[in-house]
Amino acid sequence: MPKRVGIYVRISTVDASGNETATARQEADCREVVARDGDDLVRVYRDVDRSAYDLSTERPAFEEMLRDAAQGNLDRLLAWKWDRLCRSLLDAGRLHQLVEVKGIDVNTVMDPISSWSSSSAALEVGIRAGLGAGESKSTSMRLKRVSEERAAQGLPHAGGRRGFGMKNGHLEIDEAEAAIVRDCAARALDGESLMSVARDLNDRGVTTTRNGTWNASNLRRLLTAPHVAGRRMFRGEIVDSDVIPAILDEATWVALTKMLNDPKRSTRHAAEMNRPLSGTVRCGTCASVMTPRTRRSEGQRPSYVCRKEPGKMACGGRSICADDLDQYVLASIIERVETDPLSRALIMRDDAEDASIADRLLAVRDARLDAVRLFSEGHLTASELVAAQQTSAETARALEAELVKRGSARVLAGVLASDHLEALWNERGNQWARELVRLLINSIEVAPNAVRGRQAFDPDRITIHWAAD
């Protein structure tokens, strides 16, 4: 009588292009065995990027197969090789229990168990699982050592998924994809939303390296990825590399990363980010950020409010019409730029100075590496190393902050010289307007109404704290 068979295939990692050819080969060999034995294939259970050695890694397909077998839906479990099924004594024991209690036949194509019903079956299963666990641990140690050596040499990760814009193991730039990365970076710095850019990529038929569609989340990961700047990750930290070519220059990548990782860009509450002054307006009484509130009923206008919430030190006693405040601040910006040379200087910058700051930033990083080398050679004490690293870190943060401001400045340079700033404010969207506001203004303070209950907009309540002051 034909047996109902479940085939299990697994691979720990996929290749750099995202292909899963190994599981396809495993499945083909298993199907041949099922056909040869005249059995009925019920289902193929597939786990990709799943380790059988690491007990903390879930294998959903493996667990589903065991449930189906325990419920009497399968008579036989078949895998390509024993270590595809399990590399731990725990899982080996679970399989053996299915054999003993449910009478399930468990076997493999390449290294079949001689006889599960024999008295030596449990011993054979335990030995194979133990050998598999030992081999996995040795392999893990070797791979970690190789990874450390590659990181020390600045080489990219061996294997893994290909980064968009790269080819040949991250050692060469894919110029067609790199042009797309540079275009997306420029548009993001120009104030266009990531969702808008992602929609455009999808409309043009541009796919991710796994042939997927783009969204704001994976586009942000791409634009802030270390490989885009010619770097790599090692143990959770970004390290420099002389081998990986950079798609974006240092100044652009730093400005882009700081902007996209800015907590003020959080979309946790969509309404809080859909106004030009979001994150900049503060209550004159408690100094809390006043967040936008959309109209709750017909005829009610949007407003910035000091919102009293659990865990916030907000007074909850301040609000102001959002449209009126936006227009007042826009008029103030136009007047400020036309009359104040310091504010104008913020936006009329020279790219040569950007390059100078980027060079200084690289020099600081070189100095940090030199300090580590001197410490390892015994020329610096531990306390001297810590002091040097702290000083370098503070200098690097200051230079990166300057590059962020200058990144926004490059986007806006020339625009503010236009006589049509008000039209641009309305046409370019709120994200562009927010970048402009953050460049020129530190905060906008809203004082209480002089007359309690007064609804009309009163400019005397507003104090703008300019960045150039």
Provide the mean pLDDT of the chain. 75
pLDDT of 342 higher than 90: no
Of 52-61, 139-148, 223-232, which gets the smallest average pLDDT?
139-148
Q: Between 246 and 418, whose confidence is greater?
A: 246
Domain assignment of residue 119, yes or no: yes
Task: Decide if 154 is inside a domain.
Answer: no
Let me know if 397 is exposed, middle or buried by CB neighbors in 10 A (0-12, 13-18, 19+).
Answer: exposed
Do 184 and 243 sit in the same domain of this protein? yes
Cα 375 to Cα 369: distance, rounded to the nearest angstrom:
10
**Based on the domain organization, do 32 and 125 belong to the same domain?**
yes
- Looking at the structure, tell me whether residues 358 and 449 fall in a common domain: no
254 in any annotated domain: no
CB atoms inside a 10 Å sphere around CB 364:
19
Distances (CA, A) of 369 to 154, 246, 271: 13, 20, 45
pLDDT score for 30: 93
Q: What is the pLDDT of residues 64-112, one digit of tens each?
A: 999 999 999 999 999 988 777 776 667 777 887 787 788 888 888 887 7
Q: Is the pTM value of this prediction over 0.75? A: no
Query: In the predicted model, is pLDDT for residue 414 greater than 50?
Result: no
Question: 272: pLDDT confidence band, cut at 50, 70 and 90?
Answer: very low
For residue 88, give the CATH number of its domain: 3.40.50.1390
Question: Same domain for 105 and 40?
Answer: yes
369 and 277 share a domain? no
**Whether residue 459 sits in one domain with residue 358:** no
Number of domains in the chain: 4
Token code pair at residue 197: 């850019």
Residues 6 or more apart in contact with residue 210 via CB below 8 angstroms: 18, 161
Domain boundary among 96, 115, 147: 147
Residue 34 and residue 8 share a domain: yes
Higher pLDDT among residues 27 and 279, named by residue: 27
204 in a structural domain: yes
Check whether residue 35 and residue 117 sit in a common domain.
Answer: yes
- Kindly state whether residue 135 falls inside one of the protein's structural domains: yes
**Contact assessment for residue 77 and residue 96, using Cβ atoms and an 8 Å cutoff:** no
Q: Assess whether 43 and 87 both reside in one domain.
A: yes
Task: Please state which of the ranges 58-62, 131-135, 392-396 shows the lowest mean pLDDT.
Answer: 131-135
The answer to whether the beta carbons of residues 136 and 84 sit under 8 Å apart is no
Q: Are residues 289 and 178 in the same domain?
A: no
Q: Residue 337: its pLDDT value, please?
A: 72
For residue 405, is it within any domain? yes
With respect to residue 284, please indicate whether it lies within any of the assigned structural domains.
yes
User: Domain range spanning residue 31?
Assistant: 4-147
pLDDT single digits (tens) 366-375: 777 777 677 7
pLDDT on residue 390: 79
Is there a single domain that holds both residue 409 and residue 296?
no
Least confident of 132-146, 184-198, 307-321: 132-146
